[in-house]
Amino acid sequence: MTTLTQLPEILLMGPGPSCVYDEVYEALSRPTLGHLDPLFLEIMDEIRSQLSQVFQAGSDTLTMPLSGTGSSGMEAAFANMIEPGDTVLILVNGVFGVRMVDVAGRLGAEVDAIEFEWGTPVLSEPVQTKLKAKRYKLVGMVHAETSTGVANPVEPIARILDTLPDRPLLLLDCVTSLGGMPVKLDEWGVDIAYSGTQKCLSCPPGLAPFALSKRAVDQLMARKTKVPNWYLDVTMLVKYWEAGGGGGRVYHHTAPINMLYGLHTALRVILEEGLEAGFARHSAAHDQLVQGLEDLDLELLVDPEYRLLMLNAVKVPVGIDEAAVRRVLRQHHHIEIGAGLGPLAGKVWRIGLMGHTARAANVKRVLEALRLSLD
């Protein structure tokens, strides 16, 4: 008997991955096809259409899943859109904003950051002031900051960009938000977006849904230099993912066939439930959790109007060993929750309500386990 055959079923209520739909597990076990098989090419086309719906993107938006986790989406976003010397503004209020600054800087961008206190949202006024003082090619922000449980308001930032004579590209990290709360690329005017399969899409980690507006694609195709990352070069990947061009699809790399089956199925489940119904389910689970935490005299880090529905940062009470509580949950209750990161390490627990995990029974179970662990 190997470790793999002894894995227990864990209720995944941390910052990701989330619980996987049974239908997705079944899809992952389907027969593997070749990456240019006609039936697989049909699946690819269907995935692109599904992603457009879930991203709420316009018909001229390029969508595809990248082979890699959500971090590959971030890497691809900057590698494809940034050339050395380009000016970039990053709005930072958590780990993933910090990571954006790092990635853009590694690519030779001239990076400025506006930093906000962790646990608080991005605010429009300092962004507007900065954009009036300096011209930027790209503005990047995180929609759902997984490290803090903050939902950043995107539309006010987008409207500021609309007022500028030479509108910067707007890049949005949707790793935790896609599928759990409204993501409206077309309405907001988002030019570059990426996500991950392991959060609210409830598929195992391994793919990064990705989207570029027509304006972003036009700028990409007009680059003066080659995209520095071969594996994530969208100018090459699009020749595999798009059926047009007359010459057929061009092989780039061997796609993760069965993972794409899983994503196709996860997106189908989400669309069959309906986006609005899914958002309402996440909201109801969040409200149930908040009420239960209050009953346990536990507080959330983030003010109510900026809380994520799907990721809840809970303050650790004074005198409680937060790591010990997480160990008890995992070892005795088979529940995983997350620890704090950066300046929040040791100060919060992160309880995820993502995708298939966002169910009333799961909320009830984690609340009861917390009650027993804190007694």
CATH number at residue 246: 3.40.640.10
Query: Residue 141's Cα: distance from chain center in Å?
Result: 12
Do 175 and 52 share a domain, yes or no? yes
* Domain limit, last residue, from 227, 245, 271: 271
pLDDT for 375 equals 83
Do 61 and 151 share a domain, yes or no? yes
pTM of the full predicted structure? 0.96
Do 14 and 44 share a domain, yes or no? no
**Tens digits of per-residue pLDDT, 293-302?**
999 999 999 9
**Tens digits of per-residue pLDDT, 101-122?**
999 999 999 999 999 999 999 9
Do 101 and 228 share a domain, yes or no? yes
Counting as low any pLDDT under 50, the low residues of the chain are: none
Do 323 and 226 share a domain, yes or no? no
Do 193 and 301 share a domain, yes or no? no
Q: What is the DSSP letter of 317?
A: P
Amino acid, single-letter form, for residue 252? H
Nearest CA among 66, 115, 68 for reference residue 94: 115
pLDDT for 1 equals 66
Name the residue range of residue 331's domain: 3-18+275-374
Helix axes 38-55, 257-273, angle to 10 degrees: 40
Do 91 and 200 share a domain, yes or no? yes
pLDDT for 247 equals 63
pLDDT for 244 equals 62
Do 361 and 344 share a domain, yes or no? yes
How many structural domains are present in the chain? 2
Q: What is the DSSP letter of 303?
A: -
How many CA atoms within 13 Å lie on the side-chain side of 301? 29
pLDDT for 248 equals 82
Identify the H or E element spanning 356.
none
